[in-house]
Structure 1
Amino acid sequence: MSTLLVFDAGRLNIRILYLTLSTPRIYCIARMKSFSACLWVLAVSVAFLVQTSASPVASAPVVNLGYAQYQGAIIQDKVTNATHTQFLGIRYAAPPTGSLRFRAPALPAVTAGVQQATSSPPSCMQGSGGLSPTTPFRAGHLQSRTEQDVGPSEDCLFLNVFLPGTLDQRKTLPVVVYIHGGGYIEGAADTGAGNDLIRESGEGVVSVFIQYRLGLFGFLPGRKVKEGGSLNAGLLDQQLALKWVQQHIWQFGGDRAKVTIWGTSAGAGSVLQHVVANGGFTFPPLFRAAMTSSTFLPSQYKYNDRIPELVYSEAVSHTNCSSATNTLDCLRSVDVNTLQAANGKISQGGFFGTFVFVPVVDGTFITDRPTQLLQHRRINGKILYSVTNAFEGVIFVDQSTANTVQVADYVTQLFPNISPGQAKAAAAKYAGLGTNIDQVNGIMGEAIFICPTYYLLRAFGGKAFKGEFAIPLGHHGQDIAYYFTNGVAPPFANPSFDTAFADSFMDFTMHLNPNDKHDPANITPLWQMWQGSNEMLFNKTDGGDAVVQPIKTSTALLDRCNFWQSVAENTAQ
């Protein structure tokens, strides 16, 4: 193993990222074993490998948004030498602190003077995924663990905007809004990746990267929150950012009628949430198209179900608010460090590879379980492009349990409300698909990531394209290095593959059709809409040649997805 990068992200407790030279494996060594934080580091650390892909060359003109004026920077892309303009750290909402904690985001206050938009904004408070060998929700309690370091800031509702050329040269271009992943508890808006998307579009898009409240701060569930605050605050942050785009993106050369929303992992799960938001009738529309990379749909309980109420009670307990007359007011008044400590303890106490603070069915913004809304085609957006990775579940399963894991028991740990009979039926669906650890890898990957993607595809009917990323090992998150490159060659450095895969997202953003290619060197063959079976495979041969070819969706996979959909009431999806 060779050390290629030492990455010190102390606030996330990550110390070293290793890459092996013989295979495209990626390893993270984290003080708190925060595997999902490692994914986020992979997504953003390319901006720190060797050098930045763009350097400032002059001051950008000022943009007046009404409530504030911002001045960004004109930069020159070191890959293409093209001129780009970027604005980093534009505030789109008031600080969600004090009385605004656990409430829907408020509009920002009017700020005098010109604000500099040339440096990274503070990220939202960070946490980690579950580390427990068992689910705490069957046992009725959560395990306390080592306290998490306090994240950067509660005041984190900012976004970054990137455009080709300069403001005085701006055109009216399609817009891609990227929502970062990280299990709804980690991540931040990348401050360089927007230039990658402009490059991969042939200078044909405006890109926006947004931040939103995470973990306990953004996804605290429970009846008390419904009554005295706002559920799914993190999703409401995203919605306000999308409204900001509708109101202001024209000043950056973007066409608000041609917005595509895109995300990876929990970012893709967020896209799913906006697709079904408001019962599929968000008005006025906030986007015309949706893209998902590794759609994340964990259990999404009703806000006052047993497990969400238990999570709320644990938050109250860990912050010494149990004796308060109004526990939500107490949570609003506690020190941010105390709240962040509870955020870390509760999150790490979840079952290994799962995330405790995730969206809930709130009855207003999310009116029903996502699978129900998708089944009835209650959707926003006109067309979809979705990509899944071949083996999504591996990194979310404790591989050290390979010799001991029992498949049916694993299902009950992953879905605490599933019945014993349903758990046995699930195990039967995966029997014969390798060893027990192979089977639970498949269950995690398909039930949580891959099958929800097919539910989305079905909901859009004939208006959908499907891709599969299978470059070995085909694990969750390994596709990110191919579209957020910062000018650094990805693990499989084949120009033909890189162009075909990365450009497909921007071609879809611009034309709603990956067949309409801006680069004539793109080797992707005719790409049929999904229509129940048509996909495009992105892979490589053992000899290192690019493989970009049509394939058919596995009927056995769709059968397993039909099973998970049939028990979705018990899995709370």
Structure 2
Amino acid sequence: MLSLRVPLAVALLALGRARVVAQTTVKTVDLGYATYQTDASIVDGVTSFLGIRFAAPPTGDQRFRAPQPPATIYGIQNATVQPDECMQSAVGNATTPFRLSKRTAFVQNEDCLFINVHVPADLDLTSNASLPVIAWIHGGGYAGGSNGQNPAQTLVSNSNNTVISVQMQYRLGPFGFLAGETVAKDGVLNAGLLDQQFALQWVQDHISKFGGDPSQVTIYGESAGAGSVLQHIVAHGGNTQPPLFRAAMMDSPFLPFQYEYNDPMNEVIFANLSQMVGCPISNASLDCLRSVNASELNQMGQVIALDNLFGVFTFVPVVDGDLIVERPTVTLRKNQTNSDVTLIMTNSHEGDVFVDAAALVATNSTLAEYVANLFPRMNDSSIQQAVALYSNLTDVSAPTVPEQAAFVMGDSIFVCPAFYTLDAFPADSNWKGEFAIPPGTHGSELAYLFADAVPGLTFNNSAFISSFQSGFFSTAIALNPNTHGADDLKPDWPTFKQTGKTMLFNETTTGEPEVMTIPTSDALLERCAFWLSLSDVNAQ
């Protein structure tokens, strides 16, 4: 957290750059352990509480341990400045001749467990209001991201002030997702997921003080944020008690290889990190790793992450036997979930940004070689099956190896997990959308979800944007995306399991909105069935 004390209504860092905060009426909330006040407004009509501490600093002896309640803070705390982001890791970059630049644009801090709450500016916090709540979980491959990454305050304004939004930070990279026998013995596994769960419990305990209804919480995220939503859907075998949310929405649910915590893959990562920071490879104690300077530990974690295959993330959730009792697909196939309903969006070209097309061309790589590198435990027969499926795609155009590789990556890690999740829900409570505005790459839809608040709005059509957003807000408010207004462009969302149909959001060649239901490709479902059949091999 930035230590400089500042008056209300001053400049803050938002979205990674300076932004002036407008002044609104001062709002004050007493949380019992601390009192926060703010008059900050990042977007018109919304008051934002920024940088509320929801857990004690996970530093020193608390590194690699479960989040703990924050200490009592006396006096009124200003909630007008974005918190420092958690230590940022990296994505694999091993197939290119250069290294990704390490992030330095935003202040990073191991003490980073803060939550933002955004409320309508005209909401009287003493009025016993009880608005639905959207809890946003940022993406970034469990390696990057922060509360400043996504403008969750626009979820309030875009909903016409009918919801409250919150966003949480959680430990990333080795701080949040280091695994192995030693971590299980002397620390906690999946610390980053436990941070999220702790934040969701904070919402249950405190959101009513902000005018929110703890019984009407929807969790929502994109990429690893959506993957986090998936993890909470299956947490405790799909039976978290008491419940922390009632609805789950996901954009591009990220389901990477989720090995057992003591799998040799995780033990090698633990041993390498220990050696690189000068710690003995202990099987009983994390004392040495806890004593290492946070910046040094983070830097060595980045080195390990960068050595992974291009587009692959190293520090990710594991099966821990407690929060995540088994591989997510195992729980999903039992139709056991912690949510009443789900709405899931994927993009038409999810995998493009995670494949180094230039390197594949330069090295004259075959699709079989790419599949073998991406899935180290698949046998030759399965690799050849994958090649047969993806070298002859009938529902999409992918004539080259890099294009085929992109669909391998996109289907297996993002698109198919959406269908696995949909199949776990009752027939009348699951909906599927596809965002295809060119280029339709991973994250393209965020510009439309957050409207003008993020770059990338290539199709600036207000009716299209409103139609795209309305299904999410309707689900959060009414557990159904179809309580939209008469001016909405789209037909009713069809439930996926009952109809096999998807809601398409696209643009016509003449520049008009194309919002319609389409049958889900049988070829895509066949590919997803193939990946699901290998879920034990690929640890999903």
Tell me the TM-score normalized by structure 1.
0.86
Counterparts of 1:456-475 in structure 2, within 5 Å, are 456-462=421-427, 463-475=429-441
Q: Specify whether residues 455 and 324 from structure 1 end up closer, same or farther in structure 2 by C-alpha distance, changes over 3 A only.
A: closer
Q: Specify whether residues 123 and 405 from structure 1 end up closer, same or farther in structure 2 by C-alpha distance, changes over 3 A only.
A: same
Could you tell which deviates more after superposition, 218-227 or 530-539?
Answer: 530-539
Counterparts of 1:271-420 in structure 2, within 5 Å, are 271-322=229-280, 328-403=286-361, 404-420=364-380
Asked if residue 118 in structure 1 is aligned to residue 80 in structure 2, the reply is yes
Cα distance in 1, alignment partners of residues 101 and 276 from structure 2: 13
Q: State the identity as a percent.
A: 45
Any idea what the Cα deviations from partners look like across 1:99-136, whole Å, max 9, x if unmatched?
100011011111111111011011100121000129xx
What is the alpha-carbon root mean square deviation over aligned residues? Answer: 2.2
Cα distance in 2, alignment partners of residues 183 and 494 from structure 1: 30
Asked if residue 63 in structure 1 is aligned to residue 23 in structure 2, the reply is no
Partner of 1:93: 55
1:85 is displaced (CA, Å) by 2.2
Partner of 1:246: 204
Cα distance in 2, alignment partners of residues 111 and 55 from structure 1: 27
Partner of 1:431: 391
The letter of the residue matching 2:341 is I
Cα distance in 1, alignment partners of residues 305 and 453 from structure 2: 35
The letter of the residue matching 1:218 is G
Could you tell which deviates more after superposition, 320-329 or 459-468?
Answer: 320-329
1:194 is displaced (CA, Å) by 2.9
Equivalent residue in structure 1 for 2:415, among 450, 470, 475 = 450
2:286 match: secondary structure: helix
Partner of 1:162: 118
Unaligned runs of 5+ in 2: 1-13, 394-398
Q: Specify whether residues 373 and 192 from structure 1 end up closer, same or farther in structure 2 by C-alpha distance, changes over 3 A only.
A: closer
1:261–1:289 contact (8 Å) kept in structure 2: yes
Equivalent residue in structure 2 for 1:555, among 522, 525, 528 = 522
1:415 is displaced (CA, Å) by 1.5
Aligned length: 513
1:104–1:233 contact (8 Å) kept in structure 2: yes
The letter of the residue matching 1:308 is N
1:147 is displaced (CA, Å) by 7.1
1:56–1:76 contact (8 Å) kept in structure 2: no
Cα distance in 2, alignment partners of residues 160 and 277 from structure 1: 24
1:325 is displaced (CA, Å) by 8.3
1:326 is displaced (CA, Å) by 5.5
1:148–1:345 contact (8 Å) kept in structure 2: no
The letter of the residue matching 2:304 is I
Partner of 1:130: 92
Cα distance in 1, alignment partners of residues 83 and 75 from structure 2: 18
Unaligned runs of 5+ in 1: 1-43, 135-142
1:393 is displaced (CA, Å) by 0.2
2:537 match: secondary structure: helix
The letter of the residue matching 1:63 is V
Any idea what the Cα deviations from partners look like across 1:267-315, whole Å, max 9, x if unmatched?
0000000000001110000000000000100000000011011111111
Equivalent residue in structure 1 for 2:448, among 469, 482, 497 = 482
Equivalent residue in structure 2 for 1:105, among 64, 67, 92 = 67
2:24–2:47 contact (8 Å) kept in structure 1: no
Q: Specify whether residues 170 and 343 from structure 1 end up closer, same or farther in structure 2 by C-alpha distance, changes over 3 A only.
A: farther
1:146 is displaced (CA, Å) by 8.2
Any idea what the Cα deviations from partners look like across 1:414-444, whole Å, max 9, x if unmatched?
1111112211111111122322112111100
Q: Specify whether residues 226 and 468 from structure 1 end up closer, same or farther in structure 2 by C-alpha distance, changes over 3 A only.
A: same
Q: Specify whether residues 488 and 297 from structure 1 end up closer, same or farther in structure 2 by C-alpha distance, changes over 3 A only.
A: closer
Partner of 2:161: 203
Cα distance in 1, alignment partners of residues 477 and 230 from structure 2: 20
Cα distance in 1, alignment partners of residues 75 and 493 from structure 2: 50
1:469 is displaced (CA, Å) by 0.2
2:40–2:49 contact (8 Å) kept in structure 1: no
Partner of 1:38: none
The letter of the residue matching 2:507 is K
Cα distance in 2, alignment partners of residues 253 and 296 from structure 1: 32
Partner of 2:10: none
Could you tell which deviates more after superposition, 238-247 or 529-538?
Answer: 529-538
1:550 match: secondary structure: strand
Cα distance in 1, alignment partners of residues 322 and 525 from structure 2: 31
1:461 is displaced (CA, Å) by 3.1
1:213–1:233 contact (8 Å) kept in structure 2: yes
Partner of 1:535: 502
Partner of 2:195: 237
Tell me the TM-score normalized by structure 2.
0.91
1:277–1:366 contact (8 Å) kept in structure 2: yes
1:388 is displaced (CA, Å) by 0.3
1:386–1:467 contact (8 Å) kept in structure 2: yes
1:169 is displaced (CA, Å) by 5.0
The letter of the residue matching 1:459 is A
1:74 is displaced (CA, Å) by 5.6
2:506–2:515 contact (8 Å) kept in structure 1: yes
The letter of the residue matching 1:56 is Q
The letter of the residue matching 1:413 is N
Cα distance in 2, alignment partners of residues 76 and 198 from structure 1: 11
Cα distance in 2, alignment partners of residues 432 and 316 from structure 1: 45
1:160–1:191 contact (8 Å) kept in structure 2: no
The letter of the residue matching 1:467 is G
The letter of the residue matching 1:127 is S
Cα distance in 2, alignment partners of residues 346 and 264 from structure 1: 25
1:487 is displaced (CA, Å) by 5.3
2:219 match: secondary structure: strand
Cα distance in 2, alignment partners of residues 473 and 323 from structure 1: 46
Q: Specify whether residues 192 and 233 from structure 1 end up closer, same or farther in structure 2 by C-alpha distance, changes over 3 A only.
A: closer
Equivalent residue in structure 1 for 2:141, among 183, 186, 196 = 183
